[in-house]
Amino acid sequence: MSILVVTGTDTGVGKTIVTAAVASLARQRGSSVAVVKPAQTGVGETEPGDLDDVIRLSGVTTTFEFSRFPDPLAPAAAARVMGLPQVSLDQAAARIKELAESHRLVLVEGAGGLLVRFDEEGGTLADLARMLSAPVLLVVRAALGTLNHTALTLEAMAHRGLEPAGVVIGSWPAEPGLAERCNVADLEMLAARPLTGALPEGAGNLDRETFARTAHAGLGPALGGGFDPAAFRTTFRLLP
């Protein structure tokens, strides 16, 4: 059994698409996969959420959303505004561990970034990852500003003793500019390892079969794919 926590440097960086890609690769290998969203915010009761995108793209249908809040806020704030029960990280951890007993891989997608609050006591996704003793995959932007956000998140992970599972660019532009082409080397320096992957922009709009091929090309061997950082560097003429 294995648990992998997926977080990002911010909201909208591509966490859901990366989660779907990891799930797709695991499904292609024949592994039993479950995907968990401890808290979904910014989505109404009957509206499709992130897990619907995971199902559509990966074909993995064993998904669990523990809490949902309609306002696009951090989970703790969203619960407070609506007067709803907050997310219990203890209960979430217990349920995820149960799932891990019957699934080869359990993916846990966070809300926003690593230190976004789930409850009024200050519980975060970092705390949940520690409860689960799970490695954390960090999804980042390619554009200007990503280096500071990435450095801060990696520093927070190290401070809390979390195991990094790698850094993935959630949306790599078809025509990268100077900042994007320079940032890759710095992202790898911050992570002290080559990129674990880079998914192309628009990957979330692909059909399932094309997405499966894209996932394999865009994620590295540690995640079940064939992404080659050296070939990526050559293809896009990345700058040192």
Contact yes or no for 109/36 (Cβ under 8 A): yes
Q: Give me the chain's average pLDDT, please.
A: 96
Residue 38 domain flag: yes
Query: Alpha helices of 29-166 — where are they, by DSSP H?
Result: 50-58, 75-82, 89-102, 125-132, 146-159
Percent of the chain with pLDDT over 70: 100
Query: 194 lies in a domain?
Result: yes
Give yes or no for a contact between 99 and 140, defined as CB atoms under 8 angstroms apart: no
Is 240 part of a structural domain of the chain? no
pLDDT at 157 over 70: yes
Give a yes or no: residue 17 inside a domain: yes
In a domain, 105, yes or no: yes
Q: In 3D, which of 187, 191, 127, 132 has the Cα closest to residue 4?
A: 132
First-to-last alpha carbon distance for the chain, in angstroms, is 39
Cα distance between residue 228 and residue 220, in whole Å: 7
For the stretch 22-81, pLDDT in tens is 999 999 999 999 999 999 999 998 999 999 999 999 999 999 999 999 999 999 999 999
The secondary element (H helix, E strand) that includes residue 135 is none
Asked whether residue 61 is domain-assigned, the answer is yes
Range(s) of the domain holding residue 44: 3-235
Mean pLDDT of 206-227: 97
Instruction: Assess if residue 206 is contained within a domain.
Output: yes
The Cα–Cα gap between 33 and 3 comes to 10
Residue 235 pLDDT exceeds 90: no
Express each pLDDT in 220-232 by its tens digit: 999 999 999 999 9
Q: What is the mean pLDDT of residues 195-209?
A: 97
Q: Do the domain assignments include residue 80? A: yes
CA nearest 165: which of 92, 224, 117, 237?
Answer: 224
CATH of the domain at 79: 3.40.50.300
- With a cut of 80, say whether residue 240 has pLDDT above it: no
* Positions marked active-site: 37
Give the pLDDT of residue 1. 58
Query: pLDDT tens digits, residue range 172-183?
Result: 999 999 999 999
Number of compact structural domains in the chain: 1
pLDDT in tens, 98-119: 999 999 999 999 999 999 999 9
